[in-house]
Structure 1
């Protein structure tokens, strides 16, 4: 009997220790609207690995791709309210909450990868992060995707060839204005619904970096990749400020360090996968069509002035331009 009591007591103690260990693990959920094979989600996975390693398993980041815990609006609003822990979001979408982020999506603003990173890592990047923090979201680091192109089912080499086309646009004022300036009819649709929307002819096409099109198998519903390179996708690794404040100083240090490493990893990966995606799209039957960029730049030039005037950001825009010279 005494032996049975001792065994039972040992079992209770072991269970208590197990529960205590489980309770000591801090779990954070990170959502993305993109596919699990996309560089953004791969970067999120890398971030999760780094956090686990740096914390000795005391912090766990669970990654949810494919809008499984919400599209971009749900993720960003959730971070504001503290109901979503983390997400990686693009500048265009964040501009709905912190308008100056829309500057990052002005058409034909960026010269190359180096230009983007010089701005992100400088004073302008810090200014944009402060804008976002004022909305309850803390940017932990930058991530990039690539230049964006138009995907449709007919060949187009000029602005005139695209006139009147019903094109899917992200929920971003800059995107909508840009496609209107090109003469198209932009329709806002969440990314997770784009494949079906093109397939059922709700829209005639969409625009996206090559990687997004490839990982979502958009070559099954569109046949032409029009190389407009009209915008560059800037992204940020974000955490709810309410969640951030609930963390200990040690947890914050670990997460910040992991985010910095993940950002560097993601930047390299995005460059690599963009080239691979273009090759993959062509191998799957998509035709790559080059255009006269100067014609498109002229068509969208009014968007710069309108956006700069509306948000008193003309000086900021000029500083970004100067950084690329």
Structure 2
């Protein structure tokens, strides 16, 4: 019996010593302990939905985000990207994200006004002077606060992506503000957009994006508005060959995660996802700048007439009543946008 007790004591001592030595070894190996924890943590396979085609800049950003998450979790968290509306159009996908059925999506900030009122500020015309001004706001405390505001709608904003500036294009010659007068212009179903077009002298015609080409072709509408890549990729330039670069709106894209998926993750994984999203922005913005230049070159080569606006003041003056109408609704954001201008 004494021999047995002695043997157990020796084995216990060896086990404790081995554990201490192992602990010392882990501390000495840079990142070893953290790497082991990540490798031993829960494994996840998530889905990320995007309505744009596989080569579109937002999808390039999505894929960079997924790649960074995969690398930083040693393959433990895998995010499969589904471009081309494979999982549904934006509105349907947003509903699935709220339910937790789809974990991630990239969506225009336009529809997000339905879920968090503050996002409506991006629909206001001419509130941003340039792309630099927009990004100074997006990267500010106010911009981050807007992302966090989506938590009330069972979603969490991770990062903003670029989508350039929106301008008008028409079947008819359009070289000045006066040329918009009386034109039937397609807009997103949004009160601010309807007011914007009315203030510029046009007749707002809300309709789904998929109907715009045929409506321009048949004359149901005279004009529409969007950014260069959408103007080119939708082939709208074939039936509306006149574009005026007034840049009335800068509506960023947003990379989102379902609150349900976010709640499943530990603090370390949340940090990894958030940082990966922010780090993917550089890739997305570079892809956007390249894509935008290529789209402009293609529509010019195809014979579209592109007119620069040398003086935006008449346009800005025309929409002042629209800004004032909604100022109380977006006062905090508008103040932050003004601060970002300085």
Place the TM-score, normalised by the shorter chain, in its bin: 0.7 to 0.9
Q: 2:321 pairs with 285, 289, 302, which one?
A: 302
Per-residue CA shift, 1:74-127, capped at 9, x if unaligned? 122222222232111222221122111111232111122221121111121122
1:317 alignment counterpart: 334
- Residue pair 2:49, 2:86 contacting (<8 A) in 1 also: yes
Q: Measured at CA, do residues 185 and 64 of structure 1 come closer, stay the same or move farther in structure 2, by a change above 3 Å?
A: farther
Match of 1:147? 165
Q: Which residue of 2 aligns with 1:89?
A: 107
The reply on whether 1:275 has 2:293 as its aligned counterpart is yes
Aligned to 1:42: 60
For residues 190 and 78 of structure 1, what CA distance do their matches in structure 2 show? Answer: 21
With the length of structure 2 as denominator, give the TM-score of the two structures. 0.80
| Residues 88 and 296 of structure 1, relative CA distance in 2, 3 Å threshold | same
* 1:134 and 2:152 aligned: yes
Residues 200 and 315, structure 2, Cα contact 8 Å, conserved in 1: yes
> Are the counterparts in 1 of residues 147 and 159 from structure 2 also a CA contact under 8 Å?
no
Q: Which residue of 2 aligns with 1:286?
A: 304
Distance 1:314 1:288, change over 3 A: same
Structure 1 residues 193, 81: CA separation in 2 closer, same or farther (over 3 Å shift)? farther
- C-alpha distance after superposition, 1:223-266 (max 9, x if no partner): 11111111112121111111211234444333222211112221
Q: Match for residue 115 of structure 1?
A: 133
Residue range with higher mean Cα deviation, 53-62 or 297-306: 53-62
Q: 1:176 aligned to 186, 189, 194, which one? A: 194
Distance 1:186 1:211, change over 3 A: same
Deviations 1:173-228 (A, max 9, x none): 33232122222222333334433443344433321111222233332332111111
Provide the secondary structure at the position in 1 that maps to 2:127. coil
Distance in 2 between residues matched to 1:67 and 1:78, nearest whole Å: 13
The verdict on how the C-alpha distance between 1:224 and 1:166 changes in structure 2, with shifts beyond 3 A counting, is same
> What is the alpha-carbon root mean square deviation over aligned residues?
2.2
**Greater mean alpha carbon deviation, residues 254-263 or residues 47-56:** 47-56
1:56 deviates by 2.7
Of the structure 1 ranges 68-77 and 248-257, higher mean CA displacement relative to structure 2 is found in 248-257
* Alpha-carbon separation, structure 1, partners of 2:214 and 2:289: 28
8 Å contact 2:174–2:243 — kept in the other structure? no
Contact 1:29/1:86 (8 A) holds in 2: yes
Report if the CA contact (8 A) 1:92-1:174 is conserved. no
Matches within 5 A, 1:157-176: 157-176=175-194
Deviations 1:22-63 (A, max 9, x none): xx7522222223233321122112222222222333322222
Q: CA deviation at 1:281?
A: 1.4
In structure 2, the CA distance between the partners of 1:219 and 1:37, relative to structure 1 (3 Å rule), is farther
Measured in 2, the distance between the counterparts of 1:267 and 1:273 equals 10
Matched, 1:238 2:292: no
For the pair 1:76 / 2:94, whether they are aligned, the reply is yes
CA contact (8 A) 1:30 1:86 kept: yes
CA distance 1:160–1:243, shift in 2 (3 Å): same
